[in-house]
Structure 1
Amino acid sequence: MPPTGTTITADDLPLDNSFAELPPAFYTRLMPTPMPAPYFVAASAKAAALVGLDPADLAHDDFVAVFTGNAVPPRAKPLSAVYSGHQFGHWAGQLGDGRAILLGQLATPEGPMELQLKGAGMTPYSRMGDGRAVLRSSIREFLCSEAMAALGVPTTRALMVTGSNQRIMRETVETAAVVTRMAPSFVRFGSFEHWHYRNKHEELRILADYVIRDFYPELAGAENPYLALLGEVTKRTARMIAHWQAVGFMHGVMNTDNMSILGVTLDYGPFGFMEAFDVDHICNHTDQGGRYSYANQVPVGHWNCYALANALLPLIGDTEAAQAALEVYVDAYGDKFDELLRAKLGLATAQADDRALFDHMFKLMQENHVDFTLFFRRLGGLRLDVADAEREAADAPLRDLFLDRPGFDAWAVLYRERLRQEGSVDANRSEAMNRVNPKYILRNYLAQVAIEKAQNGDFSEVARLLAVLERPFDEQPENESYAALPPDWAAHLEVSCSS
């Protein structure tokens, strides 16, 4: 990062590119394809701060040009990476960055952060695609990346979005856009599968050594560093998915080429946040079989780790040891999810019968299709110090989310009893719960409103929605409408793999 008080210009971006130091087989060096008359849509001040950029500068023409792909900084080494993967459980063969181009990495106090342009034009891996992203999907990825970071979920970040009036054909004609996303690395499970299925063990080793050296240096001294890598990635993946489940997030396309080797949420396409609770909810209209439903995210994450283990097996050299490394997934997920769930319920201790309390709660939520976010947020307002005669009225904001109010009342008796067992204090518990149960999430209808305004040239709602989502746990009385249940028209919104 530059010294405090200095300004980075677009031409002087101090880019490095450790991935470009790998052999040429791992990528293709190429230049982005310029877009006509690019314009600024939005930027994240918080993401900019991570890499030492002034968010006010990002709206200037020189930065718009760089982060659209119309100009390339002198120190950039743009490239697109090759990888393969399993898509919807089937081996898809070679894939790769079909519309993403890595500019390079900027130094931060936490380590290098790569900057990648998504939608910057065709690459050798575009297959039948045009290499472009559309404004709709770019805004969705931008907003969700930053919303997830604010929620404390491991994720890639989004620096900014630029657009152009260039026409792009999807289900309908749309306009082009580029989202600049950031992560320490964009290496995926599929990056390893690519070399395994080609029987290229030397390239497999080179990639694994690079990942360990740059991102898992603490594993380098392990007796079997590749086995240690598998175990650590498996744990990180399990914990990441526990975070997803705890906030009601659904990825939508958990293909192995969309799984980060760092255990961060990668590739926001047809995602969704749970509204009316349904454990079998499918957020991706393309996913006809429901492989990536909310309930299936946990086992699919484990399945994907098995695919990674299979790819690393030539380096690990011991099938039983790899199998043992994968077994950490169940406990890593369960421990993290229980930890997050206890925090969401305001429980300060762990007790043996907690799982029965949780299961009872989710069963009621399922039967009553209770809004996921509103339930946990309002749960923080439940009081212990209320007289029996006043309890029904006091519980009304939460109780009224349920059609089966007696069913809720029965569960609330058990919940209150559990709280009393640990001497819970209403004010302290409520404050703690409001720090982990968001009031504001990126509901599909909120994104749609911002998208439709942006498609008509008004980007103000993107910025306003971002500002709301950056403070998901705050009350924000001036933004109360952003916490409302979705309107009736939102029931018809669908997202698919083109999103």
Structure 2
Amino acid sequence: MSLLAEDTGAADLGLRWKPGFHTLGPAFLTDLRPTPLPDPYWVCRSEAVARELGLPAGWYESDTTLAALAGSLPIAGTSPFATVYSGHQFGVWAGQLGDGRAIMLGETEGGLEMQLKGAGRTPYSRGGDGRAVLRSSIREFLCSEAMHGLGIPTTRALCVTGSDAPVYREEAESAAVVARVAPSFVRFGHFEHFAANQREDELRALADYVIDRYYPACRTTERFNGSAYAAFLEAVSERTAALLARWQAVGFCHGVMNTDNMSILGLTIDYGPFQFLDGFDPRHICNHSDTSGRYAFNQQPNVAYWNLFCLAQALLPLIGDQEIAVAALESYKTVFPNEFEGRMRAKLGLHGAAEGDRTLIEGVLKLLAAGKVDYTIFWRRLSDYMADGNLEPVRDLFLDRAGFDAWLLSFSERHAGTGRAEAAELMRRSNPKFVLRNHLGQQAIEASRKKDHAAVATLLAVLEAPFEDHPDADAFAGFPPDWASTIEISCSS
């Protein structure tokens, strides 16, 4: 029974909770309560996540629930805590990190953990104020749900609560708290922390917990000399490879792929300086703080492998053989390209693989890069062309018409003898009409700063179903305005 379950004035969200990660003990976490958010108000909510959690109808109508999700009231059945981890940031060992502004409420009986991000200082805040600002909270909320709508593994977001309390970044901004949800928030950095401090007992306890909860098949492996830890590393590698293939196919830049921002379940986690590509530029850097370009769009697959190598080093005391650890990473090199090519074939409306597909994919990506062609609009217009036969909207995107026409001939030959309607259907399921472009997020943020939160809800409704036409929302599917290129997103975002 949680100590908070019997607190006077504790809020009852109608959820049942279980111990989960908390059972690992004080070496892994610190018990503490959120810092109350003064005079909170609702900014945005996801009814889809509420249903996933099993919250009752009308859950948000209570002032008590508002206060609880802003960190101002304890929640019955929970024992809040912050976890400790370490990690590599921009390729450099950063030492101990941890949940500097995220406080875990606990795990529901449905198997979902819930955190309040921006809920105040923790022992791991490293001098920070433990707060999140409205700007970054709205971006995380919207992108979490946008990625889910795109079918990309991700943490989710239940709601954002705001406050007029000032928080100081480059300038004074208003505070906010994101209630975010995931099966697990364990990161590569959790393992790195105990390995770096030569605490093998805790490292083993953490690995056993994660394997038993999320990767039980690793216990019965006959590969890697029967090592469950090596099988676990391989499984994480393959999930990460599949995630990166999805990112690259949809044109998503994470912006800060530090090892402490890598999910052990292959989820997209920690939405900071992210961006969906506008004009296609493989070398695009979305993080204004990334002066070296380490996390440029085309570097993401290699960085993910580098991060997995760091995880392998952390697990080496448990695996016991460096060659086996390296072998456990090997499948990344085949899973990523296979997954990526499969997703690109779907974007091209191709139901099966054939010789020459890689050349076809590489050819169109080179054309898009040469002309900085808008990535999302191109793929959606190509889908429309397969449906209605109108080629001009696609050709109009290219200055190099001859180059595009030559590629189109190869594309058409590849589709010879296949049904256009069937191909168009696959393409429309694979090429979203809507993504969370930076300027769309910024417009919603500016409206919310004026206490007009309807813009966030309107954008959310479209992003939850990004493959649908939503004719009333065509403005969200257009080219970005000129001012969009001036938006600078940094690690404070």
* Shorter-chain TM-score above 0.5: yes
Q: What residue in structure 2 maps to residue 318 of structure 1?
A: 321
* Separation (CA, whole Å) in 2 of partners of 1:385 and 1:100: 49
Q: What residue in structure 2 maps to residue 208 of structure 1?
A: 207
Counterpart AA for 1:270: P
Structure 1 counterpart of 2:430, from 410, 433, 436: 436
Structure 2 counterpart of 1:358, from 356, 361, 384: 361
* Conserved? CA contact 2:113–2:183, under 8 Å: yes
Q: What residue in structure 2 maps to residue 197 of structure 1?
A: 196
Q: What residue in structure 1 maps to residue 8 of structure 2?
A: none
Structure 2 counterpart of 1:488, from 479, 482, 485: 482
* Separation (CA, whole Å) in 2 of partners of 1:383 and 1:279: 26
Query: Secondary structure at 1:233's aligned position in 2?
Result: helix
Structure 1 counterpart of 2:20, from 18, 24, 30: 18
* Conserved? CA contact 2:155–2:182, under 8 Å: yes
Counterpart AA for 1:289: S
Q: 2:245 aligned with 1:246, yes or no?
A: no
TM-aligned CA deviation for residue 11 of structure 1: 5.0
Query: Secondary structure at 1:25's aligned position in 2?
Result: coil
Q: What residue in structure 2 maps to residue 6 of structure 1?
A: none
* Separation (CA, whole Å) in 1 of partners of 2:471 and 2:386: 22
TM-aligned CA deviation for residue 316 of structure 1: 0.2
* Separation (CA, whole Å) in 2 of partners of 1:381 and 1:490: 26
Q: 2:289 aligned with 1:286, yes or no?
A: yes
Q: What residue in structure 2 maps to residue 42 of structure 1?
A: 44
TM-aligned CA deviation for residue 230 of structure 1: 0.2
* Conserved? CA contact 1:86–1:257, under 8 Å: yes
* Separation (CA, whole Å) in 1 of partners of 2:120 and 2:384: 50
CA deviation vs aligned residue, 1:399-442 (integer Å, no higher than 9, x gap):
1111111111111011101111xx22222211221011100000
TM-aligned CA deviation for residue 18 of structure 1: 1.1
* Separation (CA, whole Å) in 2 of partners of 1:469 and 1:59: 24
Q: TM-score, normalised by structure 2?
A: 0.95
CA deviation vs aligned residue, 1:336-371 (integer Å, no higher than 9, x gap):
111111100001121121111111111100000011
* Conserved? CA contact 2:121–2:131, under 8 Å: yes
Counterpart AA for 1:141: E
* Separation (CA, whole Å) in 2 of partners of 1:74 and 1:359: 54
Q: What residue in structure 2 maps to residue 412 of structure 1?
A: 408
Q: What residue in structure 1 maps to residue 106 of structure 2?
A: 104
* Conserved? CA contact 1:286–1:496, under 8 Å: yes
Counterpart AA for 2:374: D
Structure 2 counterpart of 1:449, from 443, 446, 465: 443
* Separation (CA, whole Å) in 2 of partners of 1:137 and 1:383: 38
The 1:444–1:16 alpha-carbon spacing in structure 2 relative to 1, beyond 3 Å, is: same
Q: 2:35 aligned with 1:33, yes or no?
A: yes
* Separation (CA, whole Å) in 2 of partners of 1:69 and 1:384: 50
The 1:47–1:433 alpha-carbon spacing in structure 2 relative to 1, beyond 3 Å, is: same
Q: What residue in structure 2 maps to residue 375 of structure 1?
A: 378
TM-aligned CA deviation for residue 70 of structure 1: 0.4
Q: What residue in structure 2 maps to residue 125 of structure 1?
A: 124
Counterpart AA for 2:107: Q
* Separation (CA, whole Å) in 2 of partners of 1:83 and 1:385: 53
Q: Deviation above 2 Å: which 4+ runs of structure 1?
A: 9-13, 381-386
Query: Secondary structure at 2:17's aligned position in 1?
Result: coil
TM-aligned CA deviation for residue 56 of structure 1: 3.4
The 1:249–1:383 alpha-carbon spacing in structure 2 relative to 1, beyond 3 Å, is: closer
Structure 1 counterpart of 2:263, from 260, 265, 281: 260
Q: What residue in structure 2 maps to residue 88 of structure 1?
A: 90
Query: Secondary structure at 2:260's aligned position in 1?
Result: helix
* Separation (CA, whole Å) in 2 of partners of 1:402 and 1:424: 26
* Conserved? CA contact 2:386–2:423, under 8 Å: no
Query: RMSD value over aligned CA atoms?
Result: 1.2
* Conserved? CA contact 1:51–1:107, under 8 Å: no
Counterpart AA for 2:88: H
Aligned-pair identity (%): 54
TM-aligned CA deviation for residue 255 of structure 1: 0.2
TM-aligned CA deviation for residue 385 of structure 1: 9.5
Counterpart AA for 1:210: Y
Counterpart AA for 2:423: R
Query: Secondary structure at 1:40's aligned position in 2?
Result: strand
CA deviation vs aligned residue, 1:3-61 (integer Å, no higher than 9, x gap):
xxxxxx73543122311111211000001000110111111011111110146322431
* Conserved? CA contact 1:242–1:337, under 8 Å: yes
Query: Secondary structure at 1:458's aligned position in 2?
Result: coil
* Separation (CA, whole Å) in 2 of partners of 1:346 and 1:13: 43
* Conserved? CA contact 2:69–2:116, under 8 Å: yes
Greater shift, 67-76 or 229-238, is seen at: 67-76
* Conserved? CA contact 2:262–2:269, under 8 Å: yes
Q: What residue in structure 2 maps to residue 466 of structure 1?
A: 460
* Conserved? CA contact 1:34–1:70, under 8 Å: yes
Query: Secondary structure at 2:430's aligned position in 1?
Result: coil
Q: 2:78 aligned with 1:76, yes or no?
A: yes
The 1:52–1:385 alpha-carbon spacing in structure 2 relative to 1, beyond 3 Å, is: closer
TM-aligned CA deviation for residue 219 of structure 1: 1.4
Counterpart AA for 2:418: S
Map 1:170-185 → 2, pairs under 5 A? 170-185=169-184
Greater shift, 9-18 or 325-334, is seen at: 9-18
Counterpart AA for 2:152: V
* Conserved? CA contact 1:252–1:293, under 8 Å: yes
* Conserved? CA contact 1:212–1:219, under 8 Å: yes
* Conserved? CA contact 1:279–1:294, under 8 Å: yes
Give the gaps of 5 or more residues in structure 1. 1-8, 387-393
* Conserved? CA contact 1:149–1:157, under 8 Å: yes
* Separation (CA, whole Å) in 2 of partners of 1:13 and 1:323: 43
* Conserved? CA contact 1:13–1:73, under 8 Å: no
Query: When the two structures are aligned, how many residues end up with a matched partner?
Result: 479
Query: Secondary structure at 1:268's aligned position in 2?
Result: coil
TM-aligned CA deviation for residue 303 of structure 1: 0.3
The 1:384–1:93 alpha-carbon spacing in structure 2 relative to 1, beyond 3 Å, is: closer
Q: What residue in structure 2 maps to residue 4 of structure 1?
A: none
Query: Secondary structure at 1:202's aligned position in 2?
Result: helix
